[in-house]
Structure formats: C-alpha cells, structure tokens
Amino acid sequence: MPALDPGSTALVLVDLMERIVALPLAPRPGTDVLAASARLADAFRDAGAPVVHIRVERPHVDTQPPGSELVPDLVRDGDHVVVKRTIGGFQDTGLHELLAGLGATTLVLGGIATNLGVESTARAACDLGYELVFAEDAMAALTADEHRASVDLDFPRLGTVAAASAITLDGPE
C-alpha cells in the first residue's frame, strides 16, 4: 500500500469507549483493537495528520451508561471528538464539515463494531466522495462472521483493506 498524504488524510476511530472495548468481541479482543488504533493515532499525529474520535451517546436519556467516555489516554491534545446519536458518524454530527475544514479527502477507519458503527460511517463517507482505507486489525465485531462479512465482502467495494502496520504517511507536511 502506498504512503498516504498527511495533508489530505484523517484517521477516524469509531466508538472506542470503555464499555464497548470491554465487550466480548471477535476476531480479536477490544484491547487488541485499542492497541492497533493507538499505534495508528500516534503515527498520524507524528505525521501532522488529523485524528478524529467518534463516540456514541444514547438519545433521549438523562444519563449515559457507565463507560460511555472514550478510553482514557486515547484522545490527545489536538485530536477531534465527534458525538453521534445514530449508528454512523455523519448523521447530524458535523463530521463532514470538520473533515472538509481539515482538508481530508481520504479517511482511514478503525473501531468497534466493524459491521455497525465503522461500516455505517464508511458507507456515508463513500457517498460523500471520500477515499477510504480500512485498518482491518484496528476493528472487531460481536462475532467473527460479522467482522469478516464487512472486511471481506463490503469494505473492498468501498475502499482498500489493509493491516494497520501497512498504513503509512509521507511524513510531516
């Protein structure tokens, strides 16, 4: 996979919240997804590329469930946080406007769950014209079959699927 341009690429991590990372996931545990995502985020920051975290809030409730914050130490100074209230990250969140303002035309996606939040966000991003790269080992789902269906059947139609270690950036702008 060729190196990506940090001036036009953003990392988008979906629902890496304590209660979601702690779920029984497949084909890898949430801690492995978190580790791969953190390595990607560090690489993006080092290259001067934006990191965007999306977290979900349940609508129409006074209090969110325990563990609804992003995993501690995941978000760093300069990162962006978007709150969604639907499965995907674009609906009524300002994500598209944020990404456009950052100059992002390519998105690298990771998070939980592969077939829900990540895929819904990816489908909307594709409709909006973004080029997509999927960090396969920075994702998991509730079952391995759900993860594989997205990674093997759907994501190749929307963009490029790669291991997180294969995703590199050209360096600082």
- Give per-residue pLDDT as tens, 122-132: 999 999 999 99
Give 168's pLDDT tier (boundaries 50, 70, 90): very high
Confidence of residue 38 (pLDDT cuts 50, 70, 90): very high
- The pTM of the full predicted model, rounded to 2 decimals, is 0.96
Q: Locate tokens 């059947």: which residue?
A: 153
The confidence score (pLDDT) of residue 171 equals: 58
Q: Provide the mean pLDDT of the chain.
A: 96
Reference 111, options 57, 44, 47, 52; nearest CA is 52
Residue 172, pLDDT above cutoff 80: no
pLDDT (mean) for 50-56: 98
Number of neighbouring beta carbons within 10 Å of residue 80: 17
What is the rounded CA–CA span in Å between residue 169 and residue 44? 7
Which residue type sits at 165? S
Q: Residue 137 corresponds to which tokens in the numbers above?
A: 């080992």
55: left (phi over 0), alpha (psi -120 to 50) or beta: beta
Indicate whether 173 pLDDT > 90.
no
Residue 75 has pLDDT above 90, yes or no: yes
| pLDDT greater than 90 at residue 1 | no
Phi, psi of 99 (to 5 degrees): -65, -40
Instruction: Taking residues 86-111, report their average pLDDT.
Output: 98
